[in-house]
């Protein structure tokens, strides 16, 4: 998914990238470490103490992203696209894209009725990342700003959520918070950019069953606080997430409970089953 071409791969560290002028080395980092480049770009819009600014991205589900005449573009009603671009500005997504070598511009196709689209063009003087990277970072950035708002309940769980090794959420969430909501946010961002990429969630016990609440994937942390760390996982270059061996009886019980539905699904109904009449 990175840059193509001959010659040796130029390995770039995050510190070298941060010190480079106009982030000129980001395209080289994409070539050697696609996920690392995504992580670096996401950190531009993420506050280390709380995460990114929150937005209800479901408001923008009527926007459609697609490739048009060698340009990636967003289509939708004029007023909705206008609010979408304002959101880009307020959350820092617009500045992040510029450092990746891309600029969002409005292309008016007619004035009566008023029709427009948002095109992404390369910025002169900044080595641009690829269109694949542009689409991936747009999708990931929408997930960042679409994270839930932290709560303040006494029994709430101190939660961290990671995407591409970057903490995009840090705060309290209710014990009964539906984990499926996080995957729904990912699906919404995929719908907006018009590019669906399968993503799953992992906790300290292994892959997460989205039918369960957050409390099932928590554990006791420092100062007897209940904590949870969830990670979006999806291989851009192949491979899969390996299930972690349970380290205690509680982790084993959680793993068995979340694996039971998938076991019966794979097994399928049989004539010998006592539950089938």
Per-residue pLDDT tens digits for 219-274? 887 777 889 999 999 854 433 334 455 555 665 566 555 555 554 444 455 444 44
Per-residue pLDDT tens digits for 117-149? 999 999 887 777 899 999 999 999 999 999 999
Check residue 25 and give its pLDDT: 67
List C-alpha distances in Å: 202 to 163, 199, 208, 217: 11, 10, 5, 9
Kindly report the backbone phi and psi dihedral angles of residue 15, in degrees, each rounded to the nearest multiple of 5, phi listed first.
Answer: -70, -40
Helix (H, G, I), strand (E, B) or coil at 263: helix
Q: Please, is 76 exposed, middle or buried when counting C-beta atoms within 10 Å of its C-beta (0-12, 13-18, 19+)?
A: buried
Question: Is the model's pLDDT at 275 over the cut of 50?
Answer: no
Question: Is the model's pLDDT at 163 over the cut of 90?
Answer: yes
Residues 142 and 136: beta-carbon distance below 8 Å: no
Which pair of tokens denotes residue 221?
């942390």
Which is it for the CA torsion 158, 161, 165, 167, positive or negative?
negative
Helix (H, G, I), strand (E, B) or coil at 109: strand
Nearest to 67 by CA among 102, 104, 119: 119
Q: Which residues pair with 236 in a beta bridge?
A: 238
For residue 149, say if its preceding peptide bond is cis, omega within 30 degrees of 0: no
Residues 150 and 173: beta-carbon distance below 8 Å: yes
CB count in 10 Å sphere of residue 75: 17
Q: Which residues pair with 167 in a beta bridge?
A: 162
Nearest to 72 by CA among 20, 117, 30: 117
CB count in 10 Å sphere of residue 21: 8
């Amino acid at each position: 998914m990175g840059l193509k071409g001959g010659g040796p791969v130029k390995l770039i560290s995050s510190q070298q990238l941060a010190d480079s002028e106009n982030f000129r080395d980001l395209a080289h980092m994409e070539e050697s470490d696609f996920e690392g480049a995504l992580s670096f770009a996401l950190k531009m819009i993420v506050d280390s103490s709380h995460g990114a600014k929150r937005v209800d991205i479901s408001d923008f589900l009527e926007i459609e992203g697609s490739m048009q005449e060698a340009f990636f573009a967003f289509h939708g009603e004029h007023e909705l696209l206008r609010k979408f671009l304002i959101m880009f500005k307020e959350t820092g997504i617009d500045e992040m894209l510029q450092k990746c070598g891309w600029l969002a511009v409005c292309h008016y196709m007619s004035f009566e009725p008023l029709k427009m689209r948002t095109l992404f063009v390369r910025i002169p003087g900044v080595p641009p990342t690829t269109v694949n990277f542009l689409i991936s970072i747009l999708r990931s950035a929408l997930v960042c700003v679409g994270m839930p708002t932290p709560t303040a309940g006494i029994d709430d769980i101190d939660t961290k959520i990671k995407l591409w090794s970057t903490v995009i959420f840090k705060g309290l969430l209710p014990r009964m918070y539906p984990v499926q909501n996080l995957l729904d946010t990912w699906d919404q961002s995929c719908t907006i950019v018009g590019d669906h990429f399968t993503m799953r969630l992992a906790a300290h016990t292994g892959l997460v069953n989205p039918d369960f609440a957050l409390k099932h994937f928590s554990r006791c942390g420092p100062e007897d606080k209940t904590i949870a760390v969830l990670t979006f996982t999806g291989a851009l270059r192949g491979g899969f997430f390996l299930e972690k061996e349970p380290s205690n009886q509680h982790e084993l019980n959680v793993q068995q409970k979340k694996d039971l539905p998938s076991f019966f699904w794979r097994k399928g109904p049989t004539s010998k089953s006592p539950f089938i009449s």
